[in-house]
Amino acid sequence: MNYDYPHLTVTVRDGVATVLIDNPPINLMTSGLFRSLAKVSVDLSKDDDVRVVVFRSANPEFFIAHFDVAAILEFPTDGEAVEEPELGGFDRMCEAYRTMGKVTIAELRGRVGGGGAELSSACDMRFGDLETFQWNQMEVPLGILPGGGGTQRIPRLIGIGRAMEVVLGADDVDGETAERWGFLNRAMSGDSLSAYVDALATRIASFPPAAVREAKRAVNASVERSLDEGLKYESYLFQVLLRDVDAQPSIRQYLDAGGQTRDVELRIGSVMGELFDS
């Protein structure tokens, strides 16, 4: 199954939706690209065949450069600034990817900045090309600040001090540094990056869907709730999953394959992939 949107091509295969971003020449986050990404978040969240969403760029030099600065000049400034009671459109789009019952992965090649980095930071995981990845939050030199979640999600990923350096310094961060700081899960050679992301996405998509969905929800609760509340919520979700249609058969499949024996447990990571590789 394929979806077509302005500036995006979405291909679904084996439970993995690959979202290819193509908005030449620099994949600017224009209003058109934003609307397409927002529409994709709605459509994929409703697609039961999709379990993992992978974002990629058709341009090896740019994942997404940043939000369209010319468009920002057109934002209304009449009257006093107010703190809105509801999230704005861009924040709602990013939160849709962060909270949807699918796993979201950003494969980052070339430059990522501004709104592109904010979208990436809302994904569950980020993997970067060690040779080409460059991250920049270029808003403060323009007299503004990251307005699409950058000052809120980035500190949660890399800590306040490093977020201050990224946001206030507005200088490039390379792939090795971004991995060490925790923005990237891994920085990998460009030749192996896509293969690794594809293998991880396909592996996750093969697992019981309710377990993937609720495990994501439980991990997100670790930053949304106190430890005591999070532990109680985790226990509740564990009980929910025990009653799911896939739980008992999956546990029996593991035991039938030699689970809890020495030979199987010594290679448990491989076994967990092999069990569902059908």
CATH of the domain at 197: 3.90.226.10
Amino acid of residue 212: V
Domain end: 204, 236, 257, which one? 204
Same-domain check for residues 115 and 215: no
Render pLDDT for 214-226 as a digit per residue (tens, 0 to 9). 999 999 999 999 9
Same-domain check for residues 118 and 239: no
Domain end: 174, 204, 234, which one? 204
| pLDDT of residue 243 exceeding 80 | yes
Domain end: 204, 231, 255, which one? 204
Q: Is there a contact between 215 and 233 (Cβ–Cβ < 8 Å)?
A: no
| pLDDT of residue 164 exceeding 90 | yes
DSSP class of residue 108 equals: E
Q: Please give the model's pTM, rounded to 2 decimal places.
A: 0.95
Query: What's the rounded Cα separation, in Å, for the pair 28 and 65?
Result: 5
Same-domain check for residues 128 and 226: no
pLDDT given at position 206: 96
**Cβ contacts of 39 within 8 Å, gap of 6 or more:** 5
Pairing of strands 186-188, 125-129: parallel
Same-domain check for residues 200 and 229: no
pLDDT given at position 278: 56
Same-domain check for residues 34 and 140: yes
3-class SS of residue 27: coil
Same-domain check for residues 221 and 267: yes
pLDDT given at position 4: 82
Same-domain check for residues 67 and 180: yes
Same-domain check for residues 100 and 213: no
What's the first-to-final CA gap in the chain, in angstroms? 20
Nearest partner of 55 among 6, 128, 113, judged by Cα: 128
Query: What's the rounded Cα separation, in Å, for the pair 198 and 15?
Result: 11
Same-domain check for residues 156 and 43: yes
Q: 68 lies in which domain range?
A: 2-204
* Residue carrying structure tokens 């703190």: 83
Amino acid of residue 217: R
Domain count, the chain: 2
pLDDT given at position 191: 86
